[in-house]
Amino acid sequence: MAQVLEFKLPDLGEGLTEAEIVRWLVSVGDVVAIDQPVVEVETAKALVEVPCPYGGVVTARYGEEGTELPVGAPLLTVAVGASEPADLSASSTSPGLSSPAGPDAAPGSSAGSASDEASGNVLVGYGTGAPAARRRRVRRASVADPVAVGAVSVPAPVVQPVNGTVGPVPVVSPLVRRLARENGLDLRELTGSGRDGLILRSDVEQAIRQGVTQAQPATPAPVGLSASSTASSTASSFASPSVSSRIGAERVPLRGVRGAVADKLARSRHEIPDATCWVDADATELMAARTAMNAAGGPKISLLAVLARICTAALARHPELNSTVDMAAREIVRLPEVHLGFAAQTDRGLVVPVVRDAHTRSAESLSAELARLTEAGRSGRLTPGDMTGGTFTLNNYGVFGVDGSTPIINHPEAAMLGVGRIIPKPWVHQGELAVRQVVQLSLTFDHRVCDGGTAGGFLRFVADCVEQPAVLLRTL
């Protein structure tokens, strides 16, 4: 008889624990091939097409577009062909459904003949690496007629009602559970406003506001009130209806890329004792050298690529800044390779693609890779691997028309170099006042990995290379 297998949101790698459903690529009743992408999800790092390891008929989908699901939550169920028609009615309703191989079966495993209808792949580019099966044309199944799965006929899928509604049992996001836990709310007492009673973040926030409204008016804090009590009172005031429920206030969910950026920046400021030093540099000779390089023919070299090459040379002299801190072991871990991240603003928010092995690349190679990653970021095609594993970050905020900044370190790295705009300014050159192309450079560093002397030495070397590009030639 037919087997109905459940496909759960797989581990997307790189420590990601949840993903948002952006777009379903199949509908209930569609016939899917093994390793055919069935849903597009957005993680904290990229948009990813998730392929299904089973071939058969889609009998249920779990989660509407815009819903955030934790890793391990059901995505869909697939009726895999067998020797007899399968009864799909009981199989397509519960997110807790397990495959016939048991509750602990891997996504690509199943019992009986279903093993021939499954793949070891989880995501394209991940898993077993086995070639994907040839895709079959997706077609909708008739509700009245059976659907052919391979050479076997199974009845059309039916989604049974649950508690009077059609669809799966609600799955609560880990972020929603944490918000409820931090505010002392029991989710079992809340009524979800999402589809099929799904409890949304807005439901929890509304319950928090109602709790504040019903609370007794706060009394003035007595003299000698502890700092923790004061902080708690202050936090309550921020959650009060006068602030969070103001007429016309707009709520923007912190999820996807924006949520990941918020978490990482907050963690950086919480964990890293950072310090910043900066210096102005005369970039006139650097700009002239780049113009001469591009005039000589061959691939054009971007200014960011030249700055990246300077960074790798500076890190070779000051490897302390190409490191991370392992507080559990109380060790500074100095890293042998330079995987250079660079901040890029996109329509989806701030992303930091990573140039692998930047220390081994020429200016031309750096320019080409920076261009490729920038274009991928703008088109939303960056993979999780493109944005992880960085050891040092270069931030060119000068493109926004600003002179300076105090960068926040891209946790768990140890430093970030910021570059402002290059503009004509009065400058003392060879003992005389002149108009020169001036740039401000700023370095934010983790004070645990080095002291100011090392950070200052790094920044001074960068400035020297900007002012006199020949200095860089001596390091090659």
Distances in Å between the Cα of 185 and the Cα atoms of 153, 245, 359 are 49, 19, 51
Quote the CA–CA distance of 350 and 396 in Å, as a whole number: 12
- Please name the residues in contact with 317: beta carbons below 8 A apart, sequence gap of 6 or more: 457, 458, 461, 475
User: What are the backbone angles phi and psi of residue 439, rounded to the nearest 5°?
Assistant: -135, 145
Query: 316, 321, 329, 459: which is closest to 390 by C-alpha?
Result: 321
- Please name the residues in contact with 94: beta carbons below 8 A apart, sequence gap of 6 or more: 162, 168, 169
Residues linked to residue 102 through DSSP beta bridges, in sequence order: 99
- What is the SS3 assignment for 242? helix
Distances in Å between the Cα of 142 and the Cα atoms of 24, 31, 81, 264, 271 are 19, 11, 17, 48, 57
Quote the CA–CA distance of 437 and 467 in Å, as a whole number: 10
User: What are the backbone angles phi and psi of residue 21, rounded to the nearest 5°?
Assistant: -70, 120
First-to-final CA distance of the chain: 69
Quote the CA–CA distance of 68 and 255 in Å, as a whole number: 9
Q: Is the torsion defined by CA of 320, 323, 324, 330 positive or negative?
A: negative
Q: For tokens 């994907």, what's the residue? A: 132
| H or E element, residue 31 | strand 31-32
Quote the CA–CA distance of 312 and 356 in Å, as a whole number: 12
> What's the token pair of residue 411?
């946790």
CA neighbours within 13 Å on the CB side: how many for 161?
A: 3
Q: Is 429 a catalytic residue?
A: no
DSSP state of 102: B
Distances in Å between the Cα of 145 and the Cα atoms of 29, 57, 140, 154 are 11, 13, 11, 9
Quote the CA–CA distance of 282 and 276 in Å, as a whole number: 20
Catalytic residue among 270, 318, 339, 447: 447
Q: Which residues are catalytic?
A: 447
